[in-house]
Structures are given as C-alpha cells and as structure tokens.
Structure 1
Amino acid sequence: MNRLANWVAALLLMFSLNGVSAAEVLLGPGDVLRLSVFGNPDLALETRVNEAGNITFPLIGEVAVAGLSPSLAGKKIGDRLESGGFVRKPQVNVLVTTLQSQQISVLGQVNRPGRYPLEGKRSVIDLLAMAGGISADGGDTLNLLRKRNGVTTKDVVDIIAMMRSGELSQDYELAGGDVVYVERAPRFYVYGEVQRPGNFRLERGLTVVQALSVGGGLTPRGTERGMVIKRRDTNGKLLSFDAKHDDILQPDDVLYVKESWF
C-alpha cells in the first residue's frame, strides 16, 4: 500500500474509534432474537422477526418490534404481559443473536469487503475503517447508494478531500441496506521510449514530467520533444495532441514518448 493509502487508513481508524456511539441497534425483518422473562423460564423464546416486522410471543401473540431498540421491544412485551394479567411487573430481556436487517454492504476496493452489522450510529468513515480501509488499488472517492422512502439516491464522497480539509459534511450517517462502493483508482499509460512502460495509478494533478518519472525516465533513445498525449473525448473519439511538461493527465490518458532522431 502506498504512503497516501496508509495515511488515509490511519485517519479512518482514528475517526472510527472517536465516533463510536452507545446507541442501540434498531430491530428489523430477518433479525433473530432471544427473549427471556425473569422468573418465568417457560416464556423463554428464540425467534426471527418476520417480513412484516413482527414476532409471536407466548400468551400475547403477535408483537410489532421493527424500528424498536431491543430494550424498547422488551418493555413493549413486558407491558403487554402485565396488562393482560399474565406476569406481574415482568422483566423482559431481548438479545439480538443475528443482526440481519441492519447491515451495510461495503464493496469494491477495500481490504475486507463484505456485509457489516449496523450497531448504533455509524458513518461512512466508520464503515471504511471496519472494512480495513481503502486498498492500494482503491480510488480517492466512493459511491454511497441509499434508499429512503422508496427512492434510491447516489452520492459521490471524496474521501481524500474530506480528510485533508477536516470538513466532514460528507461523512453521512448510514442505515441498514446502504451500499458503500469504492471504485478502482484511475490509471494512465506510458509507452514508447521510457524505462518502464505500462499503466500506473493516476494521482491528482499528475503532470507529464511527473508521469515520465513514474515510468522510470527516458531511455537513451528517448526525447522529451514531440511527446504525444492520446485521449478520448466524451463521444469516445480518440484525440492526439502534443504534450507539454506541465500538462495535467486525465484518467485513461496515454502518454507516448518518441525516439530521438539525433
């Protein structure tokens, strides 16, 4: 992993540790719960929240628990047991054994892609830290897909700019079902009379002369005169133009270094 990626990973971990919340997770469909009532072992139950967000509990029947924390779900069940005259001052404990509903997918160029439980309040930075940070091939930005009230939105989050500025307005709070996707870093290509032709990671603001350095410099036959940049426009048409030392390369640019005739 390059030095910048290490720096970002360290900052992600720092923000994650500083931002952990003690708030309880909210229950939802698919979650597996283990319930017990103090002093009433016959009421112990392990069940799954159904698609409607309900569970069925002995004596009181169906109980809506989706959107409640485990403690509030326990209180709701206890109130129903007491109001029905089944248990006097019941103490109901609700333990989540499998957190299926409140999970977030972290995909793409991260070190540990997968699905992660949303335990308490979590933000984009928290989830990146849980996924081991952005991998060496990861880009500086990520896509955040969220569905709210039946509408899916996509936000592009510039992680590097956020870390450098300390402005965390794009460190969005996440909810179950959100998807964080880190794209591969953009590349550029160098070929012709350079020591190491090939494709390389495109850092921000990379100039032609810096690209030559990344490619190992010129061969004894190479010349900086007459270098060419090949680039596709928005319509996919390939354009070629003379390259100047301070030209800024763009994603998928090809820098061609010609052979000197003298």
Structure 2
Amino acid sequence: MFKGLGFIIILTFLFCPYSFAQDYIVGEGDVLKITVYEHPDLTTVARVSGEGSILFPLIGQVKVKGLTVSEVSKKIARMLADGYIVNPQVTVFIEEFRSKKATIMGEVNNPGLYQLEGDTTFLELVSKAGGLTKDAGDRAIIKRKTPTGNRVITIDLRKLIEEGDTSIDISIQDGDSIFISKAGLFYVTGEVKKPDAYRYEEGTTVIKAITMAGGFTDKASTSRVKIIRKKDNKEVVLEKVNMDEPIMPDDVIVVPESFF
C-alpha cells in the first residue's frame, strides 16, 4: 500500500540514530559507557543493576533506571559539579542494550512478538515484521506502559510514509504493543464500469467514489444514486444523494439503471 516504506527506513537509519539514542530509556541490564571531557580517568563502563543503579567514580551509586540517556548525562554532570569538577561535560553511550521485546499485530505480513536489537524505531519494527499488508490503513496504535499508567500513541502512517515525516517515527520501548489498523472499505455497485470494493479515504465523496469505479455506464441513472449505510446495526437507505456528499466506511453506493 505504501510504496515509500523501504526508502523511509533507509532515511531513518542515515539521519536519526543519535536523537533516538538520546531518548532511549535506560533499564536493568543495559551497559553504559560514560566519559567526562578532559578526565579520561573517569571513563566508566557499567551495567545497570537490578536496583537500577550504576557505580561511578567520585560520586558512588547513581540511580539511572527510567531515565533517558540524555537525562543520565545531565544527572551525572550535576553530581560531579557538586564539589568535584567545574562545568563537567558528560557523554553517555549505550554500550550494550538489554533484551527488549515488543508485539506488533494487525496489518503486517508477519505479526508476532519481536526482540528489539538496540534502539528500534517504529519503521524498523514494521520492517522486521515483513512490512505492511496491502490492506493496511492510515493509523498505527501503540499501547505503552508507563509509571503513571497506560499510554496510547497514534501514528499517522500516511504522514510518516507517504509524506516522509520521520519526526513521528518514534522509538519502540520494551513491552510496547503495536496494532496496525485495516483500511476501511466502501463498495460501488450497479451501473458503473468497475463495480468493486475500494479503499476508503477521509473526505471521499460520492462522485469521487464513482470515478474510482470507472465512472457511469451509458445505462446509469445519474439522478437516482443511493447509498446503503449501516447505522446502529441496521441498514439505512439514502435516496437520491448529492454527488458532493461525503461517504463513510462500509457504505454501498448503488447506481441504478435508467428506465429510458
């Protein structure tokens, strides 16, 4: 469905890794490499303990679990500045990532549970799952557990993939659950040249739907087009609809034959 997927993933690898790494949330089992500018003796490689802390020279135990890489850098800098080093410049890298897993379901070719190697973005996980199916819709829903409760994140796939807005290609976190929605469909039947089911897009009008179906046949009664719409589990028939009227997912557009 989205032809630019591979290209966007390549762009993500080329231009975005540093910013994503800075947003990575540190957890138990991660191995951090910490350097302090002009103080090579303080260079430390440490694994985050089960209590969520590391041991750093001069300042001792530092609680880092739940902080981003950027926040860890700032925290250590503040602690060093408190009586040890003037204006310390601290850099933190993830030397080794802990084992993280996320689930991706819905309209991908190989849904399931995936292990995340390093800092993995949404598009990278979609690629691991075999890419989007042809029936994929415009939205992805990410359910994420946070210290304050569950958070739901919506990703606009059209904006991300077709428009190339990689700013919304967020990092996937341990335990995330991703669902790729199925595109809504509508149906055009009767006196059109290509009666069939078509993918719904917001803002589609009756005349656009008929155009997608190849237009009217010579036998079509263009003034008697109707829509069969589901409402409250019942079918409602809208007679003699306006050609500029917007349609809804699951609508059936019926073009009757002219009596003349």
Equivalent residue, structure 2, for 1:181: 179
Unaligned runs of 5+ residues in structure 1 are: 29-65, 80-93
| Stretch of structure 1 that moved more, 185-194 or 164-173 | 164-173
Equivalent residue, structure 2, for 1:15: 12
TM score, norm. by length of structure 1:
0.63
Equivalent residue, structure 2, for 1:207: 205
3-state DSSP class of the match of 1:105?
strand
Query: How far apart, in 1, do the equivalents of 2:208 and 2:101 lie?
Result: 43
Equivalent residue, structure 2, for 1:72: 46
Equivalent residue, structure 1, for 2:146: 148
Query: How far apart, in 1, do the equivalents of 2:112 and 2:234 lie?
Result: 38
Count matched residues: 202
Give the CA deviation at 1:190.
Answer: 1.2
Equivalent residue, structure 1, for 2:190: 192
3-state DSSP class of the match of 1:6?
coil
Equivalent residue, structure 1, for 2:135: 137
Q: Compared with structure 1, are the counterparts of its residues 146 and 75 closer, same or farther at alpha carbon in structure 2 (3 Å cutoff)? A: closer
Say if 2:30 and 2:48, in contact at 8 Å, map to a contact too: no
Q: Which AA in structure 2 matches 1:73? A: R
Say if 2:189 and 2:254, in contact at 8 Å, map to a contact too: yes
Unaligned runs of 5+ residues in structure 2 are: 33-44, 56-94
Match of 1:161 among 155, 159, 162: 159
Query: How far apart, in 2, do the equivalents of 1:183 and 1:127 lie?
Result: 16
Deviations 1:187-233 (A, max 9, x none): 00111222332322113432222211322333332222110112233
Written as runs of structure 1 = structure 2, the 5 A alignment for 1:210-221 is: 210-221=208-219
| Stretch of structure 1 that moved more, 223-232 or 18-27 | 18-27
Query: How far apart, in 2, do the equivalents of 1:176 and 1:17 lie?
Result: 23
Q: Which AA in structure 1 matches 2:143? A: L
Equivalent residue, structure 1, for 2:73: none
3-state DSSP class of the match of 1:209?
helix
TM score, norm. by length of structure 2:
0.63
Q: Which AA in structure 1 matches 2:16? A: G
Say if 1:19 and 1:126, in contact at 8 Å, map to a contact too: no
Query: How far apart, in 2, do the equivalents of 1:75 and 1:183 lie?
Result: 38
Q: Compared with structure 1, are the counterparts of its residues 112 and 247 closer, same or farther at alpha carbon in structure 2 (3 Å cutoff)? A: same
Give the CA deviation at 1:165.
Answer: 6.1
Q: Which AA in structure 2 matches 1:152? A: N
Q: Compared with structure 1, are the counterparts of its residues 169 and 74 closer, same or farther at alpha carbon in structure 2 (3 Å cutoff)? A: closer
Query: How far apart, in 1, do the equivalents of 2:16 and 2:167 lie?
Result: 14
Query: How far apart, in 1, do the equivalents of 2:233 and 2:217 lie?
Result: 31
Deviations 1:55-97 (A, max 9, x none): xxxxxxxxxxx34328523999xx9xxxxxxxxxxxxxx988x
Q: Which AA in structure 2 matches 1:256? A: V
